[in-house]
Amino acid sequence: MGTNLSKNTSITALVKKKIIFAPYYSANLLKRTMSNESKNQPILDIEGAFGKTESYIENNRKSLLIIVGGIVLLAGIYFGWSKFYLEPRSQEAAAKMYKAEMYFAKDSFQLAINGNGEDTAGFISIVEDYGMTASGNLAKYYLGISYLRTGQYDKSIEALESFSSNDQFLSSMAFGLIGDAHMEKGEVEEAIEYYKKAAKENANKFSSPIYLKKVGLAYEDKGQKEDALKAYEQIKTDFPESQEATQIDKFIVRVGGTVK
């Protein structure tokens, strides 16, 4: 009995020893294996690689020169086209757009769209003639708003979707206006999609809460109170100093939320 106990104890100790030192043995085995493998790895022929590259360039010099020359030529054409064609055209469009902007500021949207037929071009003709210029692009924005304000919602969406800007604030406003146009058409799901884009683009305490509130109202229109609640609570949490946040509690309560 004592002998068996001693034997079992020795076996247990041996097992424990193997478990404890297994990582050590494994690490050493891995190290030796990697060492042997690295010895067997062929040494890269650096000189040979450079030689092949040099040979390739030599054999394909003409083709490579044509490619490089083509890239340089295209870059030069683009620069010249932008500098000597687009910029003057953009200035010309800006000069023509001035009076249309004045009509726009006075809420004379039909005149802003079509011009007066005499000395003022409307946004629509500026977009058609100068659409590729910076001023023509801005005219698309004005045109989209003008169409929206005159109830031409499909045309508004088309104009605003063709507008692009690196200015995140203008991009945000454009998304929101497209949402308004869809909402006027009764396309609530599409409106929500664009309101969310508007709230996310250049997130700030001025425009983001406005569009989040529109998201909430649109969800209420669809009867989705839980989703509306999320939008209202986001205003309260993320933009507590905004104008919308001062009155958001009543909207939260209206859709079943609680106010602390």
- The string of pLDDT tens digits covering residues 65-100 is 677 777 876 776 655 645 545 577 788 888 889 999
User: Distance of alpha carbon 194 from its chain centroid, rounded?
Assistant: 13
Say yes or no to pLDDT of 21 above 70.
no
pLDDT classification of 4: cutoffs 50, 70, 90: very low
With a cut of 50, say whether residue 217 has pLDDT above it.
yes
pLDDT (mean) for 167-195: 96
Q: Is the pLDDT of residue 201 over 60?
A: yes
* 3-class SS shares of the chain: helix, strand, coil, % to 5: 80, 0, 20
**Bigger pLDDT: 67 or 106?**
106
pLDDT recorded at residue 48: 60
Q: In CATH, what number does 165-259 get?
A: 1.25.40.10
Q: Is the pLDDT of residue 176 over 90?
A: yes
- For residue 155, which amino acid is it? K
pLDDT higher than 60, residue 157: yes
**Residue 18 in this model has a pLDDT that exceeds 50:** no
pLDDT at 19 over 50: no
Where are the domain boundaries for CATH 1.25.40.10 in the chain?
Answer: 165-259
Q: What does the pLDDT read at residue 119?
A: 84
In degrees and rounded to multiples of 5, residue 121 shows phi and psi of -85, 140
Structure tokens at 123: 């946004």
pLDDT of residue 86: 58
Q: Taking all residues of the chain, what is their mean pLDDT, rounded to a whole number?
A: 81
Sign of the four-CA dihedral 98, 114, 185, 250: positive
pLDDT at residue 43, rounded to an integer: 47
Short-list 196, 208, 198, CA closest to 236: 208
pLDDT on residue 94? 87
Question: Global pTM?
Answer: 0.70
Look at residues 244, 201, 166 and name the one whose alpha carbon lies nearest to residue 177. 201
pLDDT higher than threshold 60 for residue 29: no
Q: DSSP secondary-structure letter at 118?
A: S
Helix (H) or strand (E) holding 254: helix 248-254
